[in-house]
Structure 1
């Protein structure tokens, strides 16, 4: 009997390892993201923060579509009445650069499909432009690449503000009876109990860190049928066929746009004890990245098109490499999607079930710097319970339900 149990355990381990290996080889089509910050030279540690932001990675649930400039010297905050016009020249320039990056534009002005093939796992032959335009299947594949990849390109503009905890504590100590004032002072509207605690322990501890707020504006690349048709017919050429006329036509084109999706704000409070070895500069850096992650969560809650898909890591038990960084909580519910490809190679997603967080397991804390705050944690995934559907397996995707 003991040998049977050992054999069963061994087979279970092999099964999990096989699932994990399969998951790691899954290629799914992520949205692409370009993040920038607005320069604020009067902020504490402004130069080091810019350097840190420029070198910080894009969240792994997105393709990195960063362009050369990651810091804007000026940017007019959009309004509902005027979301684009104030920054129209800048945004149109970004749109054209984003297209140039998608098609690997060379110094000669020629384009190729290498990046699209890589990110979309498309076969090279079906993305040959001359061949594609000669068949319905080819045109469908070009349209699919546009819908699945190019159209899901986002630009996130961050405006940062910093407030030291020492300053919050000093303000709070005189305002503890004025609930509205305290809540309005702290970025994001922290709880009064948090402020009370900060004031009670004094500036020695409260000053060891910063509250960082970001007001973020989200834009999406407007890759539509008109823009695609004009691009492929009038601007497209590879390095072997490029002409000066086509190069100039793209350089002078004004058809590429960014459309405003929405704005939101969030904040990060990087708390530090009096025993920390982290410098305040490092705490500001950590808070900056955490604030960006937090505002992405807020934007995804409010804008369906910005939500990311995540592949299942294992099917039994049901796990995924997603956690607090993506806003997962015990109340989170997800739809399970299966990718389907029709006879012309075009992609669609079918809902095949739903899952919710398994409260018997802790949610993976994968926020920036979590390994420093929880050095003994061995959690590297989040566990889910099936709500509906049949068997799930690695390669299926989960996306958080609307409003959750």
Structure 2
């Protein structure tokens, strides 16, 4: 056991100079993203519920998504009031989302809806859809005439319809007894490493890391993440463009007509999270790291399990680099399709598959939270390098999407 602990500490702490020296070029990240609203279910009265709440509000929206957060980011509940079992919890969460008209609030945010005057605009749609001024003028004219337009159809299919809600039920798991034992073992491992190598630094490393693990009682969380998608069908579009545009009374009267659909569920405890790089007097970082690592793991698994939630990332076709990494669940066995952005005869944006790529071994970016502080291999890369599996020459502007 001690030997394994020593090897684990050495493997994590020793920097790999090859990766530390590597610099990546800037990659153009101008592309269409899905939009995300992330909500916390926090259990008042449970241990560390205040710390969990604070750290959740510090976690930024993932780079692959547009920030579509509403003013309400947390729901507080007595854990006894939330029904046990995944299916029951889904029912409770769905009921909460419906009661609070969350779908209509998401729609309102897309059009910068003013609840006092009813005024709406297309500024966010233009910004996120990368539309030109002429295209937007035609779209606005179509709304005024209650007609159809390619931009409105395209925005509905590729933008507004890709609005998602993540409801994160985060609970602390008490592992204090086991962590005290582990903390002592790590201190012993550090002393053994110092004795065997003649380097007293290992003694201090083992003591510091052991103190952290034991003093903060092995902080660990369980995060259940529930995924919902905004329903933006023809009826919803007609309600906004034909009836409620700049009409406060009409929009307020149809809030119940906007819906969210439940997509799926993922659970993680972030059990493999290392707390190296965190001092004993920084327990708030331990909470943040445990929560963010587990939440990132859930998002990555939801992307793999539900195609509708998958994201696209720009590929630099010259260097074959992309700003994705281990946070997105990438490993040596991952496989990506390469997509070319094209415009259809109807004026909509479509994505044509032109090949496949896979990550290069030892060139996978570890972009997980605080990976650099724990000196993880690949944490300084800044991007992941890919190699072609199939396809001819890729043109600038291509995107990649994980398929395996």
Same fold? TM cut 0.5: yes
Q: Deviations over 1:41-92 (max 9, x none)?
A: 2333322331221232100100000000000124667855995576335336
Matched, 1:157 2:159: no
Shift of 1:139: 1.8
Matched with 1:243 is: none
Matched with 1:55 is: 58
Mapping for residues 311-322 of structure 1, pairs under 5 Å: 311-312=314-315, 314-322=316-324
Matched with 2:142 is: 132
Distance in 2 separating the partners of 1:139 and 1:274: 54
Matched with 2:367 is: 366
Q: 1:112 aligns with which of 102, 107, 121?
A: 121
Change (3 A) 1:89 1:372: closer
Matched, 1:46 2:49: yes
Distance in 2 separating the partners of 1:109 and 1:272: 50
* CA RMSD, Structure 1 to Structure 2 (Å): 3.1
Matched with 2:226 is: 217
On the 8 A contact 1:265/1:295 being kept in 2, the answer is: yes
**Local SS of the residue matching 1:223:** coil
**Local SS of the residue matching 2:131:** coil
Change (3 A) 1:219 1:27: same
Matched, 1:248 2:249: yes
Give the unaligned 5+ runs of structure 1.
1-16, 174-200, 238-245
Matched with 1:229 is: 238
Change (3 A) 1:160 1:393: same
**Local SS of the residue matching 2:390:** strand
Change (3 A) 1:274 1:353: closer
Q: Deviations over 1:130-153 (max 9, x none)?
A: 522589995222011011110100
Matched with 2:206 is: none
**Local SS of the residue matching 1:331:** coil
On the 8 A contact 2:42/2:171 being kept in 1, the answer is: no
Change (3 A) 1:168 1:213: farther
Change (3 A) 1:44 1:134: closer
Matched with 1:143 is: 153
Shift of 1:327: 0.3
Mapping for residues 181-200 of structure 1, pairs under 5 Å: none
Distance in 2 separating the partners of 1:34 and 1:20: 31
Give the unaligned 5+ runs of structure 2.
1-22, 184-208
Distance in 1 separating the partners of 2:48 and 2:269: 18
On the 8 A contact 1:339/1:396 being kept in 2, the answer is: yes
Matched with 2:342 is: 340
Shift of 1:257: 0.4
Matched with 2:199 is: none
Q: 1:88 aligns with which of 65, 86, 95?
A: 95
Question: How many equivalent pairs are there?
Answer: 347
Q: Deviations over 1:150-203 (max 9, x none)?
A: 010000001112224433447999xxxxxxxxxxxxxxxxxxxxxxxxxxx988
Distance in 1 separating the partners of 2:278 and 2:42: 32
Change (3 A) 1:47 1:337: same
Distance in 1 separating the partners of 2:235 and 2:91: 20
Q: TM-score, normalised by structure 2?
A: 0.77
Change (3 A) 1:122 1:135: farther
Distance in 1 separating the partners of 2:211 and 2:44: 26
